């Protein structure tokens, strides 16, 4: 009986340390997602470039796909002008050095100075750990009613 209790406690300790390690990764990824959200609202070119992988594939809800340079330029020059962005229902799944983040993306826009506008999207982003920093590798959005 004592052997069973000891085994149970050992499993509980291992599980809790694994859960803690994963939640630390999830917190780091969530901080990167928040940095991206803020950089998009602020049109912060330096942060947008820093938080995105060079091989970024950025998919819009209308089907348009952008590389890193185009994504950053369209935010900075106001073609995609986000006045506010609110992210809800976020989930983060980590697998090694890759993470999948899903959330609902609600934003007010002023694209090309033609605003205000509003978007509601389901977004999936793929993040990669690059030298202990989580960077966006891919993004795809789908319009929601």
Report the domain count for the chain: 1
In which domain, by residue range, is 80 found?
A: 2-143
Burial of 29 (0-12, 13-18, 19+ CB in 10 A): buried
Token pair recorded at residue 7: 């085994």
> How many whole angstroms separate alpha carbon 85 and alpha carbon 38?
8
Please list the pLDDT of the chain residue by residue as tens digits (145 residues): 554 444 443 344 444 434 444 589 999 999 999 999 999 999 999 999 999 999 999 999 999 999 999 999 999 999 999 999 999 999 999 999 999 999 999 999 999 888 899 999 999 999 999 988 999 999 999 999 9
pTM for this model (two decimals): 0.84
CATH code assigned at 108: 3.10.450.50
């Amino acid at each position: 009986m004592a052997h069973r209790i000891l085994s149970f406690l050992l499993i509980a300790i291992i599980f809790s340390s694994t859960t803690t390690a994963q939640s630390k990764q999830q917190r780091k990824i969530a901080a990167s997602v928040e940095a991206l959200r803020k950089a998009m609202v602020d049109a912060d070119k330096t942060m947008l470039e820093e938080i995105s992988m060079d091989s970024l594939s950025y998919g819009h809800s209308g089907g348009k796909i952008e590389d890193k340079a185009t994504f950053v330029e369209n935010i900075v020059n106001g073609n995609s002008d986000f006045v506010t962005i609110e992210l809800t229902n976020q989930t983060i799944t980590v697998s090694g050095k890759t993470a999948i983040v899903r959330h609902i993306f609600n934003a007010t826009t002023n694209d090309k100075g033609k605003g205000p506008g509003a978007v509601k999207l389901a977004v999936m982003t793929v993040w990669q750990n690059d030298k202990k920093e989580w960077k966006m590798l891919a993004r795809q959005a789908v319009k929601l009613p």
